[in-house]
Structure 1
Amino acid sequence: MFHFYCAAKVMKVCICFRLALFHFLFLTVTVLTCNGAGKDRWTKYIKKIEAAKKSYVPCKGNCTCHADVIDYDLKIWREKGKITKDDVDSALEKSVHYQIIDHKLYREEKCMFPSRCSGVEHFILNIIDELPNMEFGINVHDWPQSNRHARHLPVFSFSKVKDVHCDIMYPAWTFWQGGPAVYPLYPTGLGRWDQMREELAKKSKEFPWSLKQNTAFFRGSRTSSQRDPLVLLSRKKPELVDAQYTKNQAWKSEKDTLGAEPAEVVHLIDHCKYKYLFNFRGVAASFRLKHLFLCNSLVFHVGHEWLEFFYPALKPWVHYIPVNTDLKDVEELLEFARENDDLMKQIATRGKRFIEQRLRMEDVECYWKKLLLNYSNLLDYTVSRNMSYQEIQRKQHKSKTEL
């Protein structure tokens, strides 16, 4: 009886010991996972950042940062050897006709978007004394006009998909004026880039990284269903992301805002309150991208296809976090950002610094000058002035951002 009692007691002790050992091992694994091994989850992203930083070669300035874009866009015409009058005439069917004759700028009377034309003309007039005689077509619509898989046209457009279009990219009118109009805050457009830079710089100082809300943020209209997954994630996890649709001119019902009441438009400077800001394409490239960087927030740039002239100089994982267009990785990327705060702050700082130093008004003007000089060298005919065109004169400009 005594032996049986002892054996039972020993067995009970053994079972308790095993349970205690199992519990200890479980806790150990849990701690290791959270504090050490769990970081392996982010290794793939950390390696992407390290590799991108290692391979990144900053441009030297002096109007060289975006020169590769001009070289690429004009490569087709250099390979052809010239741009003929027939080429230009075909391009003019899809654009607004401009001529530069004896350092004066002329334009056909018709321009569907006068403020967009004015936004373009401002920069050309600033450099008109340095330009030879030439003519060209400026597309002031959102959509590019020259398909890479059809007849190539030397038409100037502000945005394109590199593999699909062969338009020649130029700095959009929005650097000076011409929209997009966003009611009620921006009825005439976002305003001059130089003045908006100052406003955003001031606001970013009010909200340094340590004071920003640890939340992703997006406000915009539903110009593309590509934005839907982020809005739906916001409804599911509002502590992670605040993304809502606003009205635009085409809004008719809640169906246009994904079954919810449209949110109020948020001023760009108030985006600076948030650590993570999302940029999506609109009809073409989105005009908001350059503004977001100046908040000194981390930019999540969705999709890489649609370009403006300065996009190629911005590098993923160096200046911003790239996000696939299907947004399948977006929740994981946001979790990665929140758990690697110092790394994210560094990327945000690099992005802000690049836009501050390499996308100034003088950089935009310099790009226009290089573009038009290189383009004019490819024209194989002497341009004759169209006497029905009126000369475009310099205008007096308001001293404050038009809102």
Structure 2
Amino acid sequence: MNYNGVLLAFLFLVIKLNGLLCANTTVWGVGLNPVVVLPARYFYVKYNEKITNIKNFNILINGKTKVGNNCRIWTNILDRKDSSFIVRYKLYEICYEFNILVEDTKAHRKHVNNYYKGPIYPDDCSCKKMSISSWLANAECKTDIIQINSDLGQFKQIDFNKAIIKMIRLFQKNPHSISVCQYVVKNNLIFRKCYGDYTGFKLFMDNLLLSLSRKVFLPDMEFFVNLGDWPLSSLQNKMPIFSWCGSNFSADIIMPTYDITESSIENMGRVSLDMLSVQGNIDKTWSKKIQKAFWMGRDSSKHRLHLVDISKSQPHLINASITNFFFYKELKQKYGSGKKPISFFKFFDYKYQINVDGTVAAYRFPYLLVGDSLVFKQESDYYEHFYNELIPWVHYVPIKRNLDNLVELVNVMIESDRTARIISLNGQKYARDNLAPHNILGYYLVLFQKYSRLLVSTIEVREDMEEVKDAIPPEHCDCENSLHFKMEL
């Protein structure tokens, strides 16, 4: 047996899947693998001591165009204030002779020095499509997801011709309060027809499907997307409707919210709040945070108004304020004019965060978890796609629906700072490991893959459907068929 060959193969696998451990530094993440095309690629660097200085690291990501010019690449480093940082980079053209270097200049060690012959494609090029299974494997995404299994387990099979009849009946009963789009994906092309008065949110689903179709071969399928916040499919009348929010009294198939979906596909783009940016924009460490619970937002539920009342009676424990009155304008005089919003990143100047429902689940929950504060989460009938993977008192502190025990629990956590810190770190770790942009795209791919297998009706583009097209491919998208890479230590 060629033991040297086996050892080299093993080392390559360890480096590829888990990053590189060298001296006191670990480097890992999906961005080290150029096969995985993302809006912004990213990887992580962890220095296994309490104190590190990013300035001690030399991070270089570069490449050449086909004609030998330097590739246009935007690199951004986010300090997570825990001896680790995120390196993310965005390609603006096809790159060759691509190199990722992570070097500790103080210790004179190269922790990663990866060379890829190329071509390496930017996200806006529809060049390097692969099967869903290959993409998920390369991105190291999980494929056995509790929420997907539960949602799809409601259906033995789906005949979409029958589903359309049910959906039309529901829409005819509620023509002004329901807005939905019917999508067909056929031969990796996307078509839709929308119903309702408010269909602007179709852009979120359009952009997602277009983004995925540039990366993988989507299965032929047909489905409805609910464009509103409230779930539509009842437990008594189940229909294959995809929704951004679920509830204990509905049977919709749950997707990641439009908010975290958009931030995932616009990463390092026009959206500034995303799961990676939050981690790199927290100023205060745990010991220096303000020892109060914080909340700020719209008046989209009476629970939020009640929270403000509690805050007024306990200002030394809770800082809660309404920024804008829309749902309860008649109470504006009682609560005063809306408070000027602050940057979401400044929320984490406070040691404790409060997550309270709005009209449905509060879609800020992922961002609160990934920050460096302890989250108090209100009991709710509504949920997002990841809620059932969280454990109360492990990842967050649960509070009653009526908030009656909020003050008591804030006091308990103040007195039990070590426990509070452990719970906050557990929640943060879950969000880091499961709610990064590639996890969100991976969730959709697993959902679509498994959903498509339930369809028994013929998938055809239906009458009056409009094709959803990507913009004209940029001039720099001169696709080639192969991608070769090697790794140098």
Q: Please give the TM-score of this superposition, normalised by the length of structure 2.
A: 0.61
Q: Distance in 1 between the 2:304 and 2:462 partners?
A: 45
| 299-308 or 255-264, which deviates more | 255-264
**Alpha-carbon contact 2:158-2:457 (below 8 Å) kept:** no
**For residues 257 and 276 of structure 1, do their structure 2 counterparts lie closer, same or farther at Cα, with a shift above 3 Å needed?**
farther
Q: CA deviation at 1:193?
A: 7.2
The number of equivalent residue pairs is: 320
1:125-204 equivalence runs, <5 A: 125-128=210-213, 129-148=216-235, 150-162=236-248, 164-177=249-262, 196-204=274-282
Larger radius of gyration: 1
**For residues 124 and 238 of structure 1, do their structure 2 counterparts lie closer, same or farther at Cα, with a shift above 3 Å needed?**
same
**Which residue of 1 is the match for residue 307 of structure 2?**
230
Q: What amino acid sits opposite 1:144 in the alignment?
A: P
Q: What amino acid sits opposite 1:367 in the alignment?
A: Y
* CA deviations over 1:73-100 (Å, ceiling 9, x no partner): 111112xx44342124423645211110
**Alpha-carbon contact 1:116-1:174 (below 8 Å) kept:** no
- The answer to whether 1:121 aligns with 2:206 is yes
**Alpha-carbon contact 2:299-2:326 (below 8 Å) kept:** no
**Alpha-carbon contact 2:299-2:327 (below 8 Å) kept:** no
Q: CA deviation at 1:396?
A: 9.0
**For residues 135 and 301 of structure 1, do their structure 2 counterparts lie closer, same or farther at Cα, with a shift above 3 Å needed?**
same
1:237-256 equivalence runs, <5 A: 237-250=314-327, 252-253=329-330, 255-256=331-332
Other structure's SS at 2:418 match? helix
**Alpha-carbon contact 1:87-1:153 (below 8 Å) kept:** yes
Going by fraction, where is helix more abundant, 1 or 2?
1
Going by fraction, where is strand more abundant, 1 or 2?
2
**For residues 77 and 257 of structure 1, do their structure 2 counterparts lie closer, same or farther at Cα, with a shift above 3 Å needed?**
farther
Q: Distance in 1 between the 2:415 and 2:333 partners?
A: 31
**Alpha-carbon contact 1:176-1:193 (below 8 Å) kept:** no
Q: CA deviation at 1:122?
A: 2.5
Q: What amino acid sits opposite 1:357 in the alignment?
A: D
| 220-229 or 236-245, which deviates more | 220-229
Other structure's SS at 2:182 match? strand
Q: Distance in 1 between the 2:298 and 2:359 partners?
A: 11
Q: Distance in 1 between the 2:447 and 2:297 partners?
A: 32
Q: Distance in 2 between the 1:125 and 1:113 partners?
A: 21
1:65-84 equivalence runs, <5 A: 67-78=145-156, 81-84=157-160
Q: CA RMSD in A?
A: 2.6
Other structure's SS at 1:87 match? helix
* CA deviations over 1:9-66 (Å, ceiling 9, x no partner): xxxxxxxxxxxxxxxxxxxxxxxxxxxxxxxxxxxxxxxxxxxxxxxxxxxx943387
Q: Distance in 1 between the 2:198 and 2:290 partners?
A: 39
**Which residue of 1 is the match for residue 432 of structure 2?**
356
* CA deviations over 1:199-246 (Å, ceiling 9, x no partner): 321222x21101110011111122111223321121112111111122
Give identity over the alignment, percent: 25
Q: Distance in 1 between the 2:465 and 2:429 partners?
A: 43
Q: Distance in 1 between the 2:205 and 2:403 partners?
A: 34
**Which residue of 2 is the match for residue 219 of structure 1?**
296
**Which residue of 1 is the match for residue 459 of structure 2?**
383
Other structure's SS at 1:336 match? helix
**For residues 227 and 390 of structure 1, do their structure 2 counterparts lie closer, same or farther at Cα, with a shift above 3 Å needed?**
same
**For residues 370 and 194 of structure 1, do their structure 2 counterparts lie closer, same or farther at Cα, with a shift above 3 Å needed?**
farther
Q: Distance in 2 between the 1:66 and 1:348 partners?
A: 26
1:33-112 equivalence runs, <5 A: 62-64=140-142, 67-78=145-156, 81-91=157-167, 93=171, 95-108=180-193
Q: CA deviation at 1:369?
A: 1.0
**Which residue of 2 is the match for residue 329 of structure 1?**
405
RCO higher in structure (CA 8 A, sep ≥6) = 1
Q: Distance in 2 between the 1:354 and 1:65 partners?
A: 17
Q: Distance in 1 between the 2:207 and 2:348 partners?
A: 29
Q: Distance in 1 between the 2:363 and 2:274 partners?
A: 13
Q: CA deviation at 1:118?
A: 2.0
**Alpha-carbon contact 1:88-1:154 (below 8 Å) kept:** no
**Which residue of 2 is the match for residue 394 of structure 1?**
470
Other structure's SS at 2:280 match? helix
1:299-310 equivalence runs, <5 A: 299-310=375-386
Q: What amino acid sits opposite 2:369 in the alignment?
A: F
Q: What amino acid sits opposite 2:427 in the alignment?
A: G
* CA deviations over 1:139-178 (Å, ceiling 9, x no partner): 0101111111x3211111111213x100111112212449
Q: Please give the TM-score of this superposition, normalised by the length of structure 1.
A: 0.73
**For residues 359 and 258 of structure 1, do their structure 2 counterparts lie closer, same or farther at Cα, with a shift above 3 Å needed?**
farther
- The answer to whether 1:279 aligns with 2:343 is no
* CA deviations over 1:293-340 (Å, ceiling 9, x no partner): 222100000114210101111221111101110111111101101001
Q: Distance in 1 between the 2:270 and 2:401 partners?
A: 30
**Alpha-carbon contact 2:296-2:321 (below 8 Å) kept:** yes
Other structure's SS at 2:427 match? helix
**Which residue of 1 is the match for residue 174 of structure 2?**
none
Q: Distance in 2 between the 1:233 and 1:66 partners?
A: 42
**For residues 158 and 396 of structure 1, do their structure 2 counterparts lie closer, same or farther at Cα, with a shift above 3 Å needed?**
farther
